[in-house]
Amino acid sequence: MTEASRAEARTSRKRLGWLALRIGVTAAALTWTVTRVSLDDMLQAASRIGAGALAAAVAIGCSNLFVGALRWKVMLIAYGAKRPPSVLHLARVYFVSLFYNTFLPGNVGGDVLRGHVTRSAFEGASAAYVVVFVERLFGLAGLLLLGATVLSVHPVGGVDLPLVAGGAAIAAVGAALFPLVGRRMAPILPGILGRIAASFPVVERPALLLLVLLLSCGTQLVVALTGHVLVHAVDPEVPLADSLVLVPVALIALYFPAAVAGIGVREAAFVFLFTGVGMAAADATAASLAFLAASLVVALFGGLSHVIFPLSQGGPRNGGQ
């Protein structure tokens, strides 16, 4: 066996080990969440979530991908894309990428696909991939900013308002500003962060990034509404303002690397947060699993779309109509 083949074998073992860990964490988190409550109580709570509420959650989740597609297009234009695809095409790509990010353990396959499909929008192929990474940062910034804003007008029980709201606002501003100052910071950033920052394309229309941030808040707001539809079906006493804070916070689990698409960790966080504001554990568990089911259905739509209408690089170039 050559040194190259041994190195490849070691890399393969590491990948398999990492995959096994992530699947194990996901399974353990889901098992821990479900087994902490009475099965009868959870099923009774789930029975209050009618088909209408679940369908509404799926519909809202699907509509959110169009908001995300608009944000993506604005981001492409801000970075000087010469041939940005239409919003409709970007929404299709979003659906398919969600399928890959949800059902492939790597959790980044969909992001790679998004960069690949839109790389013809730039003169340099790498810019499209960087834009996808930056858009992820803005998604996190929108999540934090929405939480900080709602907390400032509707404190949630058990939360240290100044500390959490202030920290979330600072983190949101940092995430939003990083794409603007990243290239300058590249020499002082360690390892992969420095390489990513150095690869950032120049922002040609910085003012558009404010719109990107607002759209990011919009996407997180829609996600929170999706969760609230299910929470309200189980427990109508939970106010919308609580869901606007707690659902986005639970979704931070999507950025947790040691779980497949954040599944399991997200549900555990969901239950922990909503029981903290007085929701029964069985009710919160049922709502979290319904939210998971709705998310999986939306992702499956992406896979079905890809089978019926395979994506092509660049897509329609109709000026975004």
Residue 287 pLDDT: 97
Q: How far apart are CA 32 and CA 186, in angstroms?
A: 41
Please report whether residue 313 resides in a domain. no
Structural domain contains residue 91: yes
DSSP 82: S
Instruction: Please report the pLDDT score of residue 169 as a whole number.
Output: 66
Residue 320 domain flag: no
Residue 122 included in any domain: yes
| pLDDT for the residue numbered 108 | 63
Residue 317 lies in a domain: no
In a domain, 64, yes or no: yes
Task: Give residue 157's pLDDT.
Answer: 60
Q: What is the DSSP string of 89-146?
A: HHHHHHHHHHHHHHHSTTS-HHHHHHHHHTGGGSSSTHHHHHHHHHHHHHHHHHHHHH
How many C-beta atoms lie closer than 10 Å to residue 256's C-beta?
19
| pLDDT value of residue 321 | 37
pTM: 0.84
Q: For residues 168 and 144, is the Cβ–Cβ distance under 8 A?
A: yes
| Separation CA 291–CA 288 (nearest Å) | 5
Q: Which domain holds residue 120?
A: 3-308
Q: Is residue 315 part of a domain?
A: no
The confidence score (pLDDT) of residue 45 equals 95
- CA atoms within a 13 Å half-sphere pointing along the CA-CB vector of 240: 6
Each residue's pLDDT, cut to its tens digit, for the chain (321 residues) gives 677 777 777 778 887 888 788 889 889 999 999 999 999 999 999 999 999 999 999 999 999 999 999 999 999 999 888 888 999 999 999 999 999 888 876 556 788 888 888 888 887 767 888 888 888 888 888 887 887 777 777 666 655 555 555 666 677 677 667 777 777 777 887 887 777 777 777 788 988 988 998 999 999 999 999 999 999 999 999 999 889 888 988 888 777 777 888 889 999 999 998 998 899 999 999 999 999 999 999 999 999 988 888 876 545 444 443
For the chain, the domain total comes to 1
Q: Tell me, what's the pLDDT at 166? A: 64
pLDDT of residue 172: 67
Residue 318 lies in a domain: no
